[in-house]
Amino acid sequence: MAKKRVFSGIQPTGNIHIGNYLGAISRWVATQKEYENIFCIVDLHAITVPQDPTELKSKTRELLGLLLAAGIDPDMSTLFVQSHVKEHAELAWILNCFIPMGWMQRMTQFKEKSQKQKEQVSVGLFDYPALMASDILLYDTDLVPVGDDQKQHVELTRDVAQRFNSIYGPTFKIPEPLIPQVGARIMGLDDPTSKMSKSEDKPSHAVHLLDTPDEILNKIRRATTDSQKEVKFDESRPGINNLLVIYELFSHKSRQEIEDHFAGKGYAEVKNELAELVIEGLRPLQERYKELTEDPNEIDRLMEKGAEKVKPVAAAKVSEVKEKVGLARICQG
Ligand code: AMP
Ligand code: TRP
């Protein structure tokens, strides 16, 4: 049986943190043999909010390096940069014309992000889900692994695909979201009631993948917890719960084992042991990242190889769509 195709995207902005790693990247790595994977660094999504050009370029390269260092194997999975394949923007425009305003106005991520920016909000930010739908639908994707914040966008993708198919006949495969049960929402260390986020720059908010051992230890030691003592998985105590979920995901131990291990111990011990676990868990990735980035051309070569691999697939889908919609082709000869 053919392998199912997985597509996922990640923005090259801010600093990649352990929430991205546990909720997304480590799962992509773990499923490389089971699925046919396509991973995209979504730089066109990044420019929906203001970006510094030099920084955006360097973050794009850094992210590619981090994904490879985390274990994405370019011979098994395809890894490319969104803006290198022009069909993403092209299909997004066409899909725009099949998405009612009302669907877009329901998107909660836009509501949250636009509140932060007020009147500076771009049309691109509003239209972000159409570009994401284009990413997914270009490749006949079966599964879209994302954190639960992105579920609504995958649902919109399904809706627009169904709408298009019902007008023009079968064109797009209807994708399913793949939401992890544990770790879909790692919370901020400084505020465990809000999601760990790349755009939050408070110093103790998140552990980043390239943080030094000292930085990791200090951030985890400073993590907000409550004034109770018992070490238990308990969602009504978000601080300690978040630390234990991170522990669970890095240690691959069961909740029972973890609670037994910490029975009679205090939060300080949880924090110290967790810091050690995270430092050791990230060490191989950090070492591989250092090796990879010693030759700057290597990243560029891999970027180009990835784009060349997906271009024919994207081009075939866009020409099918254009034909169906009635966009005239230049006849040759
Ligand atoms: P973003 O940081 O929004 O570009 O997200 C990249 C990927 O990481 C997406 O699949 C997100 O759903 C996932 N992700 C982002 N933040 C978290 C978090 N705090 N916990 C778990 N997954 C996350
Ligand atoms: N919007 C996603 C996020 O912020 C990133 C993304 C863009 C994506 N295109 C995608 C995720 C396609 C999955 C599939 O996390």
pLDDT tens digits, residue range 60-81?
999 999 999 999 999 999 999 9
Residue 193: inside a domain: no
Mean pLDDT (whole number) for 159-168: 98
Q: Is residue 187 part of a domain?
A: no
* Average pLDDT, rounded, for the chain: 94
Q: What value does the mean pLDDT take over residues 115-141?
A: 93
Answer whether residue 273 is part of any domain: yes
| Same domain? 18 vs 122 | yes
Residues 115 and 223 in one domain: no
Cα distance between residue 110 and residue 210, in whole Å: 29
Mutate to test the pocket of ligand 2, among 22, 38, 40 (most ligand atoms within 8 A of CB): 40
User: Are residues 26 and 97 part of one domain?
Assistant: yes
333 in any annotated domain: no
pLDDT at 324: 97
Q: Residue 326 Cα, ligand 1 centroid: separation in angstroms?
A: 38
To test the ligand 1 pocket, which listed residue (7, 18, 20) has its Cβ within 8 A of the most ligand atoms?
Answer: 20
Is a pLDDT exceeding 80 seen at residue 113? yes
pLDDT tens profile 260-281: 999 999 999 999 999 999 999 9
In a shared domain, residues 309 and 167: yes
Of residues 200 and 17, more confidently modeled: 17
CB 109 within 8 A of CB 149: yes
Question: Is 203 domain-assigned?
Answer: no
The answer on 155 and 17 residing in a single domain is yes
Task: State the pLDDT at residue 14.
Answer: 86
Same domain, 53 and 93: yes
7-29 pLDDT, tens digit per residue, is 999 999 989 999 999 988 998 89
Same domain, 24 and 93: yes
We report the CATH number of the domain holding residue 224 as 1.10.240.10
Residue 227 scores a pLDDT above 60: yes
Alpha-carbon span 120 to 179, nearest angstrom: 32
Residues having CB within 6 Å of any atom of ligand 1: 10-11, 19-20, 23-24, 146-147, 149-150, 183-186, 195-196, 198
- For residue range 90-101, what is the model confidence (pLDDT) as tens digits? 999 999 999 999
Residue 85 lies in a domain: yes
Helices (H), the chain: 18-20, 26-30, 43-46, 53-69, 87-96, 101-105, 108-117, 123-137, 151-168, 213-221, 238-251, 255-262, 267-292, 296-325
Range of the domain at 218: 213-291
28-32, 132-136, 327-331 — which one is most confidently predicted on average? 132-136
- Going from the Cα of 147 to the center of ligand 1, the distance in angstroms, rounded, reads 5
Cα angle 196, 199, 10; round to 5: 80
Catalytic residues: 113, 195, 198
Nearest ligand to residue 206 Cα = 1
pLDDT above 90: residue 36: yes
When pLDDT is averaged across residues 208-226 and rounded to a whole number, the result is 97
Look at the chain and report how many structural domains it folds into: 2
Which ligand is nearest the CA of 28, by number?
1
Expressed in angstroms and rounded, the spacing between residue 198 Cα and the centre of ligand 2 is 14
Same domain membership, residue 300 and residue 274: no
**pLDDT class for 331, splitting at 50, 70, 90?**
confident
First-last CA distance in the chain: 41
Within 6 A (CB) of ligand 2 lie 7-11, 42, 45, 132, 135-136, 144, 146, 150, 153
Residue nearest to atom 15 of ligand 2 (CA): 10
Which atom of ligand 2 lies closest to the CA of 24?
Answer: 15
3-state SS, 193-207, equals CCECCCCCCCCCCCC
% pLDDT > 90, the chain: 85
Do 232 and 246 belong to one domain?
Answer: yes
Query: What value does the mean pLDDT take over residues 205-213?
Result: 97
Q: How far is the CA of 11 from the centre of ligand 1 (A)?
A: 9
Q: Is 47 a member of any domain?
A: yes
Indicate which CATH number applies to the domain containing 92. Answer: 3.40.50.620
Is the pLDDT score of 333 beyond 60?
Answer: no
Which whole number is the average pLDDT over 147-163?
94
Same domain, 165 and 81: yes
Q: How far is the CA of 252 from the centre of ligand 1 (A)?
A: 20
Q: Over 80: is that where the pLDDT of 181 sits?
A: no
Task: For residues 104 and 16, state if they share a domain.
Answer: yes
Closest ligand by atom to 23 CA: 1
Q: What is the mean pLDDT of residues 294-317?
A: 95
Q: Sign of dihedral through CA atoms 186, 189, 195, 199?
A: negative
Looking at residue 25, the DSSP 8-state letter turns out to be I
* Domain match, 172 and 250 both: no
Q: Predicted confidence band at 332 (pLDDT cuts at 50, 70, 90)?
A: low
Model pLDDT, residue 271: 98
In-domain check, residue 205 = no
